[in-house]
Amino acid sequence: MTATPSFRFRRLRRTQVLRDLTRQTYLSANDFILPLFIEEQITSAVAIESMPGVNRIPEGELAKRVQQVWSNGVKAIILFGVSHNKDDSGSDSWDEHGLLARCIKIAKAAVPEMLVISDNCFCEYTDHGHCGVISENDVDNDATLENLQKQVISCARAGVDMIAPSGMMDGMIASIRQALDTAGFSHIPVMSYSSKFASAFYGPFREAVDSNFKGTRNTYQQDPANGREALAESMQDEAEGADILMVKPGLAYLDVIADIRAHSALPLAVYQVSGEYAMIKAAAAAGVIDEKAIVLETMIAFKRAGCDLIITYYAEDLVQWISRDY
């Protein structure tokens, strides 16, 4: 006689209604943040060839694009400037009339309810493409912190809703928090790129922001092999006053996400980066995967690992997909 199982998990998978009732992880429109690339001194959108469907937006079309994003159900955006006024320190990023400040003002004026997040770094604004001040062929951590303080104050004065420092400088959260609080912006939250790896998945982003970056960022971004260090970095940022933690990239670092979630009660974000997006697009174009199914499964993996927020170029698609049939 064949032994029968004492418990049958399949009982709760028998119908779609049963599966829906017992689902443990959900996606919501509130989960997603859309990155936008804004280029100055252009008059029409520039397609990013390595990221099908993603463009550099002319500054003059940003207001219309923000309104479109809002009408499509996405409630948060993160801004990346493509500057034509680069120098060795990225000073345009803290100029009150510079590209970053202008974009914040445009976005907030277009849709005041939109959550506007600034990506706070220098790689898009420096002529060398690194994330701060160069000294002796490396990024000078503390000199960069001084400029970062100036940058976040400029963003706050422009009306930004959230600061998101991505440069992986030691002490960046404490420096930012001190600057914001001293200047009267204690209400502005900080979402830290707290565990950001020196990853090969960033390749298409270089095209997106027109970066002339050379070399590596291994001295300030994290070694992909060091999971315990990644946890320590995020815990340090929490101790310094970060309001939200982030892991970047996403799918190759689900273990890091889960480890941080086990040690922190703060909201946790993940960035599904350009290379992850481009790989899905390429596989879908080759006809070897179901794009929608893969994207939804990936988003569920992020949520299941412990993320609350997901930065993704699929944000608008996802809101429409889950509103219809997910």
Above 60 in pLDDT, residue 156? yes
One-letter identity of residue 81: G
Assess contact for 37 and 313: CB atoms under 8 A.
Answer: no
| pLDDT value of residue 22 | 94
Q: For residue 311, list its beta bridge partners.
A: 33, 271
Residue 207 scores a pLDDT above 70: no
196 catalytic per annotation: yes
Q: What is the pLDDT of residue 258?
A: 98
Q: Binning pLDDT at 50, 70 and 90, where does residue 159 land?
A: very high
Spatial CB neighbours of 282, under 8 Å, sequence gap ≥ 6: none
Write out the H or E segment, with its range, that includes residue 207.
Answer: helix 203-208
Which residue has 């815990």 as its token pair? Answer: 235
312 pLDDT band, cuts 50/70/90, is very high
Read out DSSP for 111-178?
-TTSEEEEEE-STTTBSS-SSS-EETTEE-HHHHHHHHHHHHHHHHHHT-SEEEE-S--TTHHHHHHH
Q: Is 248 labeled as catalytic in the residue annotation? A: yes
- Whether the per-residue pLDDT at 48 is higher than 70: the answer is yes
Confidence at 56, pLDDT banded by 50, 70, 90: very high
Instruction: Decide: 199 and 273 in contact? Cβ < 8 Å.
Output: yes
What mean pLDDT do residues 41-47 have?
A: 95
Domain ranges of the chain: 26-325
**What string of DSSP letters covers 61-110?**
GHHHHHHHHHHTT--EEEEEEE-S--BSS-GGGG-TTSHHHHHHHHHHHH
Report whether the peptide linkage leading into residue 249 is cis, meaning its omega lies within 30 degrees of zero: yes
Rounded CA gap, 178 and 181, in Å? 5
For residues 136 and 209, the model is more confident at 136
Average pLDDT, the chain: 93
Mean pLDDT (whole number) for 57-80:
98
Residue keyed to tokens 């922190």? 264
**Is 90 exceeded by the pLDDT of residue 324?**
no
Please pick, among 86, 108, 196, 303, the residue that the annotation labels catalytic: 196
Angle at 64 between CA 189 and CA 271, to 5 degrees: 40
Q: Which pLDDT value is given to residue 168? A: 87
Could you give the angle at which helices 227-240 and 254-263 cross, rounded to 10 degrees?
40
Give the SS3 label for residue 209: coil
Q: Are 175 and 150 in contact (CB under 8 A)?
A: no
Cα 259 to Cα 255: distance, rounded to the nearest angstrom: 6
From 75, 86, 108, 248, the catalytic residue: 248
Range in 119-128, 219-228, 271-280 the model is least confident about = 119-128
CATH number of this structure's domain 26-325: 3.20.20.70
**3-7, 47-51, 140-144: lowest mean pLDDT where?**
3-7
